[in-house]
Amino acid sequence: MAVKPFLKSAWYSAWLGWKIETNWTDPLTFAGYYLLRPFAGLLIVGFIFLIGSFAAGNMSTQYFTYLFLGQISFIYVSQITMVTGSLIHEERSKYETLRSLYVTPASLRPYLLGRALSAAFASTVSMLLTLLLGTFVFSYALGIRLEIDLLKVNYPALGLSVLLGIASLISLGFLLSGINLLSTKLQFTLSEYVSGIFFLLGDVIFPPSMLPGPLNLLSSALPITYYIRAVRASVLSGVWDAILPNMAMLLLLAIIITVAGLLGFGAAEKRAKRLGILDRKSEY
């Protein structure tokens, strides 16, 4: 498929995804909806930290900043995997449009890419809203100082880290979509399984070095780990020497998972077509 038609299809798919997500309500309600879930997660982590700190008699603002940045960065992970993990089921069973998408010249790949990009944009909205409100609640209402100096943030490195993280998550979304092409049993839980594993192993709320050896080793093979670390290094130190090792590993793993995602989705698509289950629906 030519590049220009592919990108055009992806663009219109992203626009469609944005319309699907936003046209059910007014903009203010939509903003509240996209703020509620990530902000609730941030509050849970924050109050667990507060309760634990008061019980231990030790309040570490450095560790709270570590938690805060990890939870904020994880918004992209949870929302992109949630969309891509349920997209095939949505198109196959809810809207019953999968067969129509498959027979178009563009086929499924640009559509999946566009919907994932739409989820990434929505995640950015959620992240910014949660960042602003979370900073206000914890720094001003509760008096917990965040050790973040906006003048020391390496903004180019931060932007590049986020883009590489999004690329990794979109490629992972192709793998999740490929799994759902072959199954009608995981559409409601697959994204939760994956995001839960990443939350545990991805250096979000505690260093993976605290995990048992095999899990620590698995953490070092996840692109999410280096995405979170690159974001933290970009915000807290801003020094390229601290950022580049994580960014290099993130780039390498992003390339690997992109190749794996495209090959895995292609293999799943061919198998689903051969077995005659491409448009198989499950009724509940």
pLDDT tens digit string along 168-212? Answer: 999 999 999 999 888 877 777 888 889 999 999 999 998 998 888
Average pLDDT in the 94-103 region? 80
Q: Residue 109: inside a domain, yes or no?
A: yes
Q: Rounded to an integer, what is the distance from CA 112 to the centroid of its chain?
A: 15
Residue 283 is assigned to a structural domain of this protein: no
- Mean pLDDT in residue range 70-75: 93
Residues above pLDDT 70, as percent of the chain: 98
- Dist. CA 25–CA 5, nearest whole Å: 32
Asked if residue 167 is part of any domain, the answer here is: yes
**pLDDT of res. 258:** 94
Dump pLDDT digits (tens) for 213-251. 899 999 999 999 999 999 999 999 888 988 999 999 999
Least confident of 34-43, 99-108, 190-199: 99-108
Task: Tell me the whole-structure pTM to 2 decimals.
Answer: 0.91
Residue 284 covered by a domain: no
8 A C-beta contact, residue 170 and residue 260: no
Question: Does the pLDDT at position 13 exceed 80?
Answer: yes
24 belongs to a structural domain: yes
Residue 282 maps to a domain: no
Q: What is the DSSP string of 222-241?
A: -HHHHHHHHHHHHHHT--HH
Q: Which of 33-37, 205-209, 219-223, 265-269 has the lowest mean pLDDT?
A: 33-37
173 or 92, greater pLDDT: 173
**Which pLDDT belongs to residue 282?**
67
Contact 168, 257 (CB under 8 A): yes
Mean local confidence (pLDDT), 101-119:
86
pLDDT of residue 132: 87
Question: How far, in Å, CA of 284 to CA of 255, rounded?
Answer: 38
- Number of structural domains (the chain) is 1
Q: What is the pLDDT of residue 1?
A: 56
**Measured in whole angstroms, how far is the alpha carbon of residue 74 from the centre of its chain?**
6
The DSSP code sequence of 171-224 is HHHHHHHHHHHS-SSSTTTHHHHHHHHHHHHTTSSS-GGGS-HHHHHHHTT-HH
Mean pLDDT of the chain: 88
Give the model's confidence band at 283: pLDDT under 50 very low, under 70 low, under 90 confident, else very high: low
| Whole-angstrom Cα Rg for the chain | 20
pLDDT: which is higher, 187 or 148: 148
Please tell me the chain's helix, strand, coil percentages from 3-state DSSP, rounded to the nearest 5. Answer: 80, 0, 20
Report which listed range, 48-62, 173-187, 248-262, is most confident. Answer: 248-262
Contact 247, 228 (CB under 8 A): no
Question: What is the span of the domain harbouring residue 33?
Answer: 3-275
Instruction: Check residue 59 and give its pLDDT.
Output: 81
Could you tell me if residue 260 is inside a domain? yes
99 band by pLDDT with thresholds 50, 70 and 90: confident
Please answer whether residues 257 and 81 qualify as being in contact, where contact means their C-beta atoms are separated by less than 8 angstroms.
Answer: no
Percent of the chain scored above 90 by pLDDT?
43
**Residues 96, 232: Cα–Cα separation, whole Å:** 42
In a domain, 32, yes or no: yes
Structure tokens at 149: 């100096």
203 torsion bin: left (phi>0), alpha (psi -120 to 50), beta (else)? left
